[in-house]
Amino acid sequence: MIEKPEDKLDQEYLKELISDHATNPRNKYRLDPSTCKCQGKNPLCGDEVTIYINLSPSTSIIEDIAFEGRGCPISQASASLVTEVCEGLSKNEATTLSNYLRNTITGTVQDPIVETLEGAWAEIQTLTAIQINPARAKCVTLAWHTLTHALDGHIETDISST
């Protein structure tokens, strides 16, 4: 396969993005109390992420979001991005964005992202350019999977089999 110049740029940008968020994670703290919380684990590699969310009771808008976790730089950077991108989104928008990212990474055929989420998608789309083995894709999706489960009211999720 011939590498296009933009592929190289995507990979360089992705490395910088992951390095920045892994070294200087945004919103990495325990949000207590929180209206939604879920701990996600991938026991196959040891990555763990807990997502804390405060939803507006009247509008279901994510007013505050934070995470705690440990694991590889990719999983921790992805969790940091979750908190940056999803604050201010509605519960439904965050779930749609999470599902779209996971479907894009796994190659599931889908329609384009809804227009209202194009800006948020532009901030995370680079994550889909990750050129690693399929097992590492779970490093990217753990935080997003955990976000979706938190918004659905689950308190724990194991993504090793998903």
Report the pLDDT value the prediction gives residue 131, as an integer from 0 to 100. Answer: 59
Report the pLDDT value the prediction gives residue 4, as an integer from 0 to 100. Answer: 42
Q: What is the pLDDT along the chain (162 residues), one digit of tens a residue?
A: 334 444 555 678 888 888 999 999 999 999 999 999 999 998 888 999 999 999 999 999 999 999 999 999 999 999 999 999 999 999 999 999 999 998 888 888 678 899 999 999 999 988 887 755 666 788 899 999 999 999 998 877 777 655
- Structure-token pair, residue 107: 């190659």
Query: For the chain, where are the alpha helices, taking DSSP H only?
Result: 5-23, 73-86, 91-106, 118-124, 137-151
For residue 39, the 8-state DSSP code is E
5-158 fold: Sufe protein. Chain: A (3.90.1010)
- Label residues 2-30 b or e (16+ Cβ within 10 Å = b): eeeeeeeebeeebeebbeebbeebbbeee
Report the pLDDT value the prediction gives residue 12, as an integer from 0 to 100. Answer: 81
Question: In Å, what is the CA distance from 74 to each residue of 15, 40, 140, 151?
Answer: 9, 15, 6, 22
- Structure-token pair, residue 113: 């992202």
Report the pLDDT value the prediction gives residue 2, as an integer from 0 to 100. Answer: 39
* Cα(127)–Cα(137) distance, integer angstroms: 9
* Cα(162)–Cα(160) distance, integer angstroms: 6
